[in-house]
Chain A
Amino acid sequence: MNERPRYGRLWGAIPIIIALGLWEVVARLKLLPGDMFFPPFTTVVRELYDLAATGVLAANFLPSLRRVLLGFASGAVAGILVGIAMGWKRQVDLAMGPIISLLYPIPALGWLPLLMIWIGINELLPVAIVFICSFFPICYTTTGGIKNVDRRYINAARSLGSSDFRILATVVFPLALPGIFTGLRLESGMAWRVIIAAEMVAIPSGIGALMMKSESLMRIDTIIACLMVLSIMCFLFERVFALLERKITAQWG
């Protein structure tokens, strides 16, 4: 029986509250050396509110969200499909494995210069970057998830008359889901980090671009507000996948 202390969630909140309190105090008392402009937490919150109220937040957040959703969804679907093929069929694994191992380590942003030339600066560029950064890791974890399904379940299904394809669809794939969800959970946060970076460097709209504009205007409060939005989105996405996984595997023991 898992025992969660009744005050579990509260414990997690306390360091955050303390940190925010410290932030406020340090900033208001101008305790940081030199000319480091450091807005207090409350100022940042007010800026966040202003951004939302004036529509600036939405104008930048929605493009970022759209790019993440499109890129991640397509990368995940492709990664899962290829991962299943590689995990299930040895020939596919032997054929695709080497090329995937070679391409996997290239950081998503490393593709940026190449894609900028091939695709140009348009909506496809950030989506392509997120696609690439999602595809490889999810393919990898899916392959692992499929391969790690206990062989005995496959034998049991075989003894019950099931064809190979049916075994894959009704036994192996479901049992690989926890592994696949882990990959989705981790990479969803990564997708946000990559999109922000891509927008800071190459794309004129989105949260990342807003951060760069704020930097040139010395609007630190805006920058921190954007970082908070990023952090919250990463957290939310990971939570959604964690919850989905728990829901699906709840009864499995």
Chain B
Amino acid sequence: MEVRPGELLVLLGPNGAGKTTLLNVIAGLVPYQGSVMFDGSSMDAVPARFRKIGYVFQDLVLFPHLDVGSNIAYGLRSYGTPKPEREQRVSELLHMLAIEHLSGHFPAKLSGGEKQRVALARALAPRPEILLLDEPFNSLDSQTSGFLRAELKHLQNDLGATTVFVTHDLSEAEELGDRIAIVKDGLVEQGMTKIGTASLKTGG
């Protein structure tokens, strides 16, 4: 499977097809056989923490013991970003995702849509080279998810981030994806562009 720089590739497939597993392989969070390459260099020997990916998990997995600001700053602290830069970057993201008013709040008190934005901000903070999103709008009501979808597309375009987006919802796939790859039973079956068709390499 191939993802082009700056594009939003959607992995579409039924539940249990292995889409999350594929994201975890790209992220380096599970052991795997085969090969993951970023820009032509092999990532197989590179542990997850050095792969420069931003990952929005299916259940968001915000740290409950940290407030919104600290959640967002977590990756920056890992990379040793000095405090002033950190604070500036966090402000930037709070603004970008329109959650400035939530900065001192804790995840337990946030709504689904708000948590989503925080999770996205957290993933984007360290300026990852690749963005992975696992059914992020799954548990939201259709109004909020529609709204966030549009925002995400906008954001992704602005940032030019190479993105892999997982969903089982066809309309969501069509709305967001530059290209769509179908995943079924652990295999990427075929890829197609939205306009016309072109096939991607298959394989696990």
Top 5 A-B residue pairs of the complex, sorted by shortest distance between their CB atoms: A253-B108, A160-B75, A161-B78, A251-B106, A159-B55
B126 sits at the interface (CB 8 A): yes
B78 touches A163 (CB 8 A): yes
B57 sits at the interface (CB 8 A): yes
Please classify the interface of chain B as helix (H, G, I), strand (E, B), loop, or mixed, using the class held by over half of its residues. Answer: mixed
A148 sits at the interface (CB 8 A): no
Looking at the complex, which of B37-45, B58-66, B162-170, B191-199 is the stretch in contact with chain A? Answer: B58-66
Which chain B positions have C-beta within 8 A of A171?
63
Please classify the interface of chain A as helix (H, G, I), strand (E, B), loop, or mixed, using the class held by over half of its residues. Answer: helix
State in angstroms the CA–CA spacing of A152 and B24 once bound together. Answer: 11
Chain B interface residue number, banded: 20 to 34
A158 touches B106 (CB 8 A): no
A160 touches B50 (CB 8 A): no
A157 sits at the interface (CB 8 A): yes
Contact of A161 among B50, B63, B106, B109 (CB under 8 A): B50
B48 sits at the interface (CB 8 A): yes
Which chain B positions have C-beta within 8 A of A161?
49-50, 52, 75, 78-79, 126
B78 touches A162 (CB 8 A): yes
A225-253 with Cβ < 8 A to chain B: 249, 251-253
Interface size for A (C-beta < 8 A) is: 20
A159 touches B27 (CB 8 A): yes
B61-80 with Cβ < 8 A to chain A: 61, 63-65, 67, 74-75, 78-79
A150-198 with Cβ < 8 A to chain B: 152-153, 155-163, 166, 170-171, 174-175
State in angstroms the CA–CA spacing of A57 and B160 once bound together. Answer: 75
Tell me the nearest residue of chain A to B80, going by C-beta.
A161
Contact of A253 among B47, B52, B59, B64 (CB under 8 A): B64
